[in-house]
Chains A and B, each alone.
Chain A
Amino acid sequence: MGILLIVILVLMIGGALFSLEARDLLSAVIAYGIVGFGLVILFLLLQAPDLALVQIVVEAITLIIMIAVIMDSTREEVKTKSKRTAAYVIVSIVFAGLFLYFFNRVTGTLSAFGERAMRMSLAYINPGAEITGSANLVTGVIFDFRGYDTLGEATILFTAVIGVLTVLRLKGRK
């Protein structure tokens, strides 16, 4: 279990790095797909089938849309010469060091990867089915305990659609 998680995580990091460096944009997008579908397997291994179900469909749809965009435009990456000065290198090394330092400090207080943090969640998990009447605890949480969150999410989706329709409309309605 632990080794399998590490193998998939290393594969995902490799796919992300390759998609940054690839010359051919189509292979970059396909390498980016490794990250999404690896995340699906991670969700299944960490016992989150709800998230895996959403992630696999969303990943497939976004991959199709991105491949359609690349087929419509160009497969070659447009070269922009970037200067690699000493200042940039020093700044990135400083930030990487800072991130590593704080990450190292924070991980001591969290529970291990894949373990549930049981202090708070027991109050939701144990009486969850009786309070909400829902056999699937995730649905019980997002529609009963966290109903306002779900309302906010639906509103965000609604706003996104309005934004897309506003930006992409060339001819107005009569």
Chain B
Amino acid sequence: MTIIVQKVTQMMCGIIFLYGIYIIVHGHLTPGGGFAGGTIIAGSFILLVIAFGSEFLTLKKEETGSSLLESGAILVFLAIAAAGLLIGGVGIFFVNFLPKGTVGSLISAGIIPLFNIAIGIEVAAALLTIFLALLIYKEEST
């Protein structure tokens, strides 16, 4: 890509990434949540790869990392859900065992923000892994 695209990408990429994190963390207060924020974070990485070409990142290593992160995030999601069996006192899968706090403050709603963060990491890593797998396939087949 030309230098204009690369410069604009350099300036915008971090802001898009931060916006994704904001959407994930405020998922229980404002519109958005893990799915929307995860796609935004994956979009910032995809923008970087498209603007700087595929040799900018060492693709293979990157793909291994993102697929590890994806598997880890879904394990964390399952672990939080299963922790309700032990901690809640009632012994129900997916029970909200943390204190709920006041509605509308940032730290509230018990385990829902934790679920949001786990789902956000999972979605971002999954989309990035699919994109990198397509790129690696193209590099290997030519």
Residues of A within 8 A of B (CB): 49-50, 53-54, 57-58, 60-61, 64-65, 68, 72, 129-130, 132-136, 138-140, 142-144, 147-148, 150-151, 154-155, 157-158, 160-161, 164-165, 168-171
Contacts and interface: CB of A to CB of B under 8 A. Distances in A.
Given A129-B103, A158-B122, A164-B130, A135 B94 contact: no
Name A's interface SS.
Answer: helix
Nearest to A69: B134
Contacts of B48: none
Contacts of B21: none
Interface residues of B, number: 52
4 cross-chain pairs, A with B, having the tightest CB-CB distances, nearest first: A133-B100, A49-B31, A147-B94, A133-B109
Given A57-B40, A143-B116, A171-B140, A158 B23 contact: no
A65 B39 CA distance: 14
A86 B50 CA distance: 48
B29 interface: yes
Given A54-B35, A139-B28, A132 B109 contact: yes
A144 B96 contact: yes
A58 B46 CA distance: 12
Contact of B33 (A130, A138, A164, A165): A138
Given A49-B31, A144-B96, A147-B81, A135 B104 contact: yes
A155 B50 contact: no
B116 A61 contact: no
A72 to B, nearest CB: 8
A58 B33 contact: no
A116 B130 CA distance: 36
Given A133-B112, A161-B70, 11 more contacts: A50-B31, A50-B36, A64-B50, A134-B28, A134-B112, A135-B28, A135-B103, A139-B109, A161-B130, A168-B134, A168-B137
Contacts of A151: 77-78, 81
A164 B133 contact: yes
A158 B126 contact: yes
